[in-house]
Amino acid sequence: MAENTGSFLGTGWSFPPSFSKANESVKMVSDTRDIEESIHLILSTIPGERVMQPEFGCDLKRLTFEIDDSTLIAAFEHLIYHALLNFEPRVNYIGTSIIDRQQLDGVLYLQINFSIITTNTRHNIVFPFYLQGEGTNVPV
């Protein structure tokens, strides 16, 4: 088990789940790392993927083949804001910005800024968004 299981920000399984051979247990994460992994999980899940929670997730995949312009950034803002509002109650969403564009590889790196409600500290994570479908291995 994790050393910090009494964390007031939460403790949960690491994502992706991994196991420790030493103590024969699931590796756990706590505090800010738990929140970051939760946000990554929310943004990576397409609504409808979870049978018992069909609303869970963020429909970023529908933006896959969109043109990289200000409309796309506004769409990211809207989708991420609502996903975090509904599924991550420990944070206040501040904003999203594109920090790197690798257009030949079809990747946008999104910086998602948030503050943790309990501690009122600001954090951000970088989330890679693939503009091309996952099944494309065709060189550009």
The model scores a pTM over 0.85: no
Nearest-5° angle of CA 77, CA 83, CA 87? 150
Please give the pLDDT value at position 67.
Answer: 84
In a domain, 33, yes or no: yes
**Does 3 fall in a domain?**
no
Strands (E), the chain: 11-13, 19-20, 25-26, 28-30, 91-102, 107-116, 121-130
For the chain, give the percent of residues with pLDDT over 70: 87
In a domain, 6, yes or no: no
pLDDT digits (tens, 9 = 90+) for 74-94: 999 999 999 999 999 999 999
Domain span including residue 86 = 11-130
DSSP for 105-120, please give it.
TTEEEEEEEEEETTTT
User: Considering the domain boundaries, does residue 113 fall inside one?
Assistant: yes
CATH of the domain at 52: 3.10.450.40
The pLDDT value recorded for residue 112 is 95
